[in-house]
Structure 1
């Protein structure tokens, strides 16, 4: 495919429905890496192997409260007016054993958790007794009849030896940790935290520490994505920034794949001249045609539109670009001027001069650093396969995904709002799946809410609207936030959820019931609210 044909192909991308795109991502995310962690670190992780009871539990009949271990038959006639008087022959604390059996007419003082001595079949609570003396020896008066088994936890009541109490993929809660400790699991087999490479593309990007320069912006996406990765249990590995050059980006992705389980890129997925990720992902299509790529994945627009077919002259080509750009306007607002190497060098020099030496190594290297990338090719490996390169959604339509060298690559928009939405819809699910969650558990958690105000939309694709969620009188409300365009960040901190506005030209009316994807801590529950 020559450069012109590949450029044309970028405008003939077929939009896959969000649910279908999510299915493809979850199928490609296969949890494999496991590790053994100390018990105290196991909470919040997912089991890699089944765990079972190593003994009966409780391992012996034990007292459920402080009182006296007795033979129930000795108390059959006891009442407050005519208590049964029993001679106390021993005292048993938790962790100790009685030195004598409970014979007829005797009792043993026992503490909560203590092993019930042989001969006793009930424990009478302390409040139902009174101290007494018989021939100068300690005794107890029992004021009510005891039933056999009263206040005794029999051996194996909760668990029999060998009973499984945790399955592979099960999320370990504090209660699981207590059971693991009870049964002697000092170390626990769990799925490893996914190592997630975060790579930003774009010559317009500056380090966060750098002063702004004309036409340049700071790379805020990398830190945001890293924070989101950590929030859902992954280990973020920041790979810095690379320019809009296929060779450099391909090599950076190859380096990231060598040390990580999944790669997330931001930027370069739209249809501009410098959108390098779109070019790289399209190169995968050289191995399999677009029709083959989506044979098992129904697309929203199965047939190319008349505008997509018009690639004859340069003018017509430009016209077709405009059509596609109109479709992806929400996801492409920043121009990408190519930076001069000396500009970056000057910026980085200024930054390093202000950073204490002990922190200097944390500053991301310039994409135009003199240290070579040693690029080998401007394409992704031939054994790669494209999952999708456009999703039927707003914002974030150019969001793409592929499997490269057996690992998942998710390419998110460079616009912060679209990047955020793309992560929540696809990347979070992939990370949870790689952490050991089932495909169903990894899906975004949804609830229904009543819409505050109305929402109009022009795009026919499904829309994901940032919203504040609150409850009044037992009803969950979703209030759309302002500054909701893909390039806008102001509403991101306040977003509790994403309202799903169905595909079509009609939005949603005030008071209508809408589906909402729960974000952050709200989205961790395995049950819908």
Structure 2
């Protein structure tokens, strides 16, 4: 038996956390680039952004009403009303045209700049309009405190305050804030360029008709979506044939032009499992080739010239889980995300899970809130080769090694998958 063949049978299984720790030092930060604000949506901020000015940067009215001197209303009541002459009108987007004096008021709209002299805005409904000697006045019958209905300068942020920290994903709220401050060019992390290969002569293109004994190459498109969702830039290649020399040449060519290489299939120990042979050779440095997990125990990672190679299982369920546990965190770390791993929650198992495990199982399932409690519902079909339940899952339920399984009602750890819960 060849040495390479012997090596692929001699596999030392690592716990998931240990395997994750082995890949993260090689998840090197990408470069940064400047993009326009619309292009920044979904990207990862490369540098902290400070407020270039306070917000709001002028005192603005909190409602439609009249800007006044609060001191004009001292001791004002129904039996002793105050009349103020209206000398200006300030729509939103305009500035005061008249310098107010005591005894005067300016009609003002919500969001408009409050005259520098005024220290309060009284709402329109609290006033009565009257004409005196051909001039419009307002009649007040109660005191108005200083600062009433005025949004002060810098209420939300002062100049120099940090608006957004580096490593933050830019979504609608972040984009809105950047636009508010006129930040129209944004420093973001470059997306890692990721080459994706499937292996196996049994694979059909997705536009080919079905053939007996062959399957369509769905994992490539699964990985394309997962990489895109994680923030990487996927590049799809034709399936690698069951030929070690060709596979080695294709993978090495990909390392020249891409930041990460991800393959699916060919990592078991059969005669045609070429990725298992490739990572056991001297062209790459293997990090691990077995993990104490189901599905996807044959998940493999290696390094060539400082770049990561992930060889995932060809079974759809195992491929999906392997990506979420290993590839997604690497992409996140490369883009500077502070917490690149799937978030952990604790939930009550809604249905017993009776499979006996010698490895930790990451069971596809969904989360559901009932009467304020979070429940984890395992998928009915969770075999490694089952792909249909991927679309219905929003979590991986962590089932530790067990000779008896886990009963309904027990507390379990769940890893929340990207996106929201499917049901509440």
Query: Structure 1 length normalisation: TM-score?
Result: 0.76
Partner of 1:187: 185
Q: Name whichever of 67-76 and 246-255 sits farther off.
A: 246-255
**Residues of 2 paired with 1:22 and 1:81: CA distance?**
77
Change in Cα spacing, 1:523 to 1:10, as seen in structure 2 (3 Å) is farther
Task: State whether residues 18 and 392 of structure 1, in contact with CA within 8 Å, keep that contact through their aligned partners in structure 2.
Answer: yes
**Residues of 1 paired with 2:78 and 2:300: CA distance?**
78
Q: Cα distance, 1:407 vs. partner?
A: 1.9
Aligned match for 2:56, one of 55, 58, 63: 58
Partner of 2:398: 500
What SS does structure 1 have at the residue aligned with 2:333?
A: helix
Partner of 1:475: 373
Pair 1:521 & 2:416 matched: no
**Residues of 1 paired with 2:176 and 2:350: CA distance?**
44
Q: Cα distance, 1:400 vs. partner?
A: 0.9
Partner of 1:401: 301
What SS does structure 1 have at the residue aligned with 2:187?
A: strand
- For residues 385-412 of structure 1, the C-alpha deviation after alignment (integer angstroms, 9 at most, x for no partner) is 3321111111101101122222221110
1:265-280 superposed matches below 5 A: 265-280=263-278
Q: Cα distance, 1:43 vs. partner?
A: 2.7
- For residues 206-243 of structure 1, the C-alpha deviation after alignment (integer angstroms, 9 at most, x for no partner) is 21222333433221111111122223332221112111
Pair 1:511 & 2:409 matched: yes
Aligned match for 1:421, one of 301, 310, 321: 321
Partner of 1:301: none
Partner of 1:389: 289
Change in Cα spacing, 1:81 to 1:238, as seen in structure 2 (3 Å) is farther
Pair 1:490 & 2:392 matched: no
- For residues 122-181 of structure 1, the C-alpha deviation after alignment (integer angstroms, 9 at most, x for no partner) is 111111111112222111112321111111122222222222211211122322222211
Of Structure 1 and Structure 2, the greater helix share is in 1
**Residues of 1 paired with 2:254 and 2:276: CA distance?**
18
- For residues 285-344 of structure 1, the C-alpha deviation after alignment (integer angstroms, 9 at most, x for no partner) is xxxxxxxxxxxxxxxxxxxxxxxxxxxxxxxxxxxxxxxxxxxxxxxxxxxxxxxxxxxx
Partner of 1:198: 196
Pair 1:454 & 2:329 matched: no
Partner of 1:152: 150
**Residues of 2 paired with 1:206 and 1:465: CA distance?**
28
Change in Cα spacing, 1:157 to 1:465, as seen in structure 2 (3 Å) is closer
Q: Cα distance, 1:86 vs. partner?
A: 0.7
Q: Name whichever of 74-83 and 406-415 sits farther off.
A: 74-83
1:362-373 superposed matches below 5 A: none
Change in Cα spacing, 1:256 to 1:76, as seen in structure 2 (3 Å) is same
CA RMSD of aligned residues (A): 2.1
Pair 1:209 & 2:207 matched: yes
Task: State whether residues 418 and 487 of structure 1, in contact with CA within 8 Å, keep that contact through their aligned partners in structure 2.
Answer: yes
- For residues 72-93 of structure 1, the C-alpha deviation after alignment (integer angstroms, 9 at most, x for no partner) is 1101122244321011111112
Pair 1:174 & 2:74 matched: no
Pair 1:31 & 2:22 matched: no
Runs of 4+ in 1 over 4 A off after TM superposition: none
Partner of 1:119: 117
What is the aligned residue count? 423
Unaligned runs of 5+ in 2: none
Unaligned runs of 5+ in 1: 285-378
Task: State whether residues 357 and 405 of structure 2, in contact with CA within 8 Å, keep that contact through their aligned partners in structure 1.
Answer: no
Partner of 1:432: 332
Task: State whether residues 445 and 523 of structure 1, in contact with CA within 8 Å, keep that contact through their aligned partners in structure 2.
Answer: no
Partner of 1:48: 46
**Residues of 1 paired with 2:156 and 2:260: CA distance?**
41
Of Structure 1 and Structure 2, the greater strand share is in 2
Q: Cα distance, 1:246 vs. partner?
A: 2.2
Change in Cα spacing, 1:142 to 1:491, as seen in structure 2 (3 Å) is same
**Residues of 2 paired with 1:4 and 1:472: CA distance?**
57
What SS does structure 2 have at the residue aligned with 1:514?
A: strand
Task: State whether residues 40 and 188 of structure 2, in contact with CA within 8 Å, keep that contact through their aligned partners in structure 1.
Answer: yes
Change in Cα spacing, 1:160 to 1:430, as seen in structure 2 (3 Å) is same
Change in Cα spacing, 1:269 to 1:55, as seen in structure 2 (3 Å) is same
Change in Cα spacing, 1:271 to 1:46, as seen in structure 2 (3 Å) is same
Pair 1:222 & 2:220 matched: yes
Partner of 1:76: 74
Q: Cα distance, 1:199 vs. partner?
A: 0.4
Task: State whether residues 354 and 404 of structure 2, in contact with CA within 8 Å, keep that contact through their aligned partners in structure 1.
Answer: yes
What SS does structure 2 have at the residue aligned with 1:113?
A: coil
Aligned match for 2:13, one of 7, 12, 15: 15
Partner of 1:132: 130
Query: Structure 2 length normalisation: TM-score?
Result: 0.94
Task: State whether residues 77 and 84 of structure 1, in contact with CA within 8 Å, keep that contact through their aligned partners in structure 2.
Answer: no
**Residues of 1 paired with 2:179 and 2:215: CA distance?**
51
